[in-house]
């Protein structure tokens, strides 16, 4: 998959993360609004009942009970039924997939750099390769900023905390994986060097064996000729 395709998939995931954060935000705001409205109506009802009690006592009549009408549910009340935990789970899944694409892009760029340093490609369009690499890196950086702004500044505090925890852990895992990658590459280089040394030693042994064989053959021929000359 080329860098541009990776960025397009990542952009789609960011949109899903934004939608999930907006859904979570609306669910939280709707619950608070409905709860505040209910508390307000109860308080008003109590004030009205207290007023009627005082007024009836003043005129000597029995107080009339005030029936509090049920509060009609607002249109936003549908969001109360949203499973906030599931919304978080979905956001984390999309974040995970975003990180996977981010790592895939980094691996692709590393592979292209290594290939460019070690393999000559006469048909390569250097400008096109450079544009794709730079645009992909810039776009992925923008998407990461969008995720941070959405979760930290445009969502309830829980999302900001989730972002901080997830990205801190991501940084830890990234560092661990980078160290593991460097060790693995060092091991591969060591193994390649050992194979080269073994091959070189094998070639030296073959050369020594061939040289020894030729020398022994030369001695045999020389002694053979000397013995024939002695007989003559």
* Residue 169 counted as domain residue: no
Taking alpha carbons only, the member of 20, 10, 12, 11 closest to residue 163 is: 20
* Residue 175 counted as domain residue: no
* Residue 227 counted as domain residue: no
- Residue 13: is its pLDDT beyond 90? yes
* Residue 21 counted as domain residue: yes
Taking alpha carbons only, the member of 156, 154, 161, 150 closest to residue 13 is: 150
* Residue 161 counted as domain residue: no
- Residue 112: is its pLDDT beyond 50? yes
* Residue 174 counted as domain residue: no
C-alpha distance from residue 182 to each of 12, 134, 198 (Å): 32, 24, 24
Q: pLDDT band at 55, cuts 50/70/90?
A: very low
Please give the Cα distance from 9 to 25 (Å, whole number). Answer: 25
Two tokens at 162?
A: 């989730």
Chain-centre distance for alpha carbon 220? 73
- Residue 41: is its pLDDT beyond 70? no
Q: What is the mean pLDDT of residues 137-153?
A: 92
Please give the Cα distance from 69 to 107 (Å, whole number). Answer: 64
Q: What is the mean pLDDT of residues 203-227?
A: 84
Token look-up 């029995």 returns 62
* Residue 228 counted as domain residue: no
Higher pLDDT: 28 or 89? It is 89
Percent share of the chain, pLDDT over 90 = 15
* Residue 214 counted as domain residue: no
Boundaries of domain holding 131: 3-155
**Domains contained in the chain, number:** 1
DSSP string, 50-87: HHHHHHHHHHTPPPPPPPPPPPPPPGGGGGGGS-HHHH
- Residue 20: is its pLDDT beyond 50? yes
Please give the Cα distance from 8 to 5 (Å, whole number). Answer: 5
- Residue 107: is its pLDDT beyond 80? yes
- Residue 51: is its pLDDT beyond 50? no
């Amino acid at each position: 998959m080329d860098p541009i395709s990776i960025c397009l998939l990542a952009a789609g995931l960011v949109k899903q993360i934004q939608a999930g954060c907006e859904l979570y935000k609306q669910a939280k705001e709707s619950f608070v609004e409905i709860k505040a409205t209910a508390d307000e109506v109860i308080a008003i009802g109590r004030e009205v009942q207290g007023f009627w009690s005082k007024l009836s006592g003043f005129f000597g009549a029995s107080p009339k009970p005030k029936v509090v009408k049920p509060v009609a549910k607002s249109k936003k009340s549908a969001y109360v039924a949203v499973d906030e935990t599931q919304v978080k789970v979905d956001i984390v899944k999309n974040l995970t997939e975003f990180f996977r694409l981010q790592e895939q892009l980094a691996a692709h760029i590393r592979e292209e750099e290594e290939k460019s340093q070690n393999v000559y490609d006469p048909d390569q369009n250097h400008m096109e390769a450079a544009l794709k690499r730079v645009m992909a890196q810039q776009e992925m950086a923008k998407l990461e900023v969008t995720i941070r702004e959405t979760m930290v500044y445009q969502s309830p505090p829980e999302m900001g905390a989730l972002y901080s925890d997830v990205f801190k852990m991501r940084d830890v895992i990234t560092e661990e994986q980078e160290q593991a990658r460097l060790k693995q590459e060092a091991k591969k280089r060591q193994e390649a060097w050992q194979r080269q040394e073994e091959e070189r030693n094998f070639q030296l042994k073959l050369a020594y064996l061939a040289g020894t064989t030729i020398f022994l053959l030369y001695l045999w021929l020389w002694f053979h000729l000397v013995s024939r000359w002695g007989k003559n």
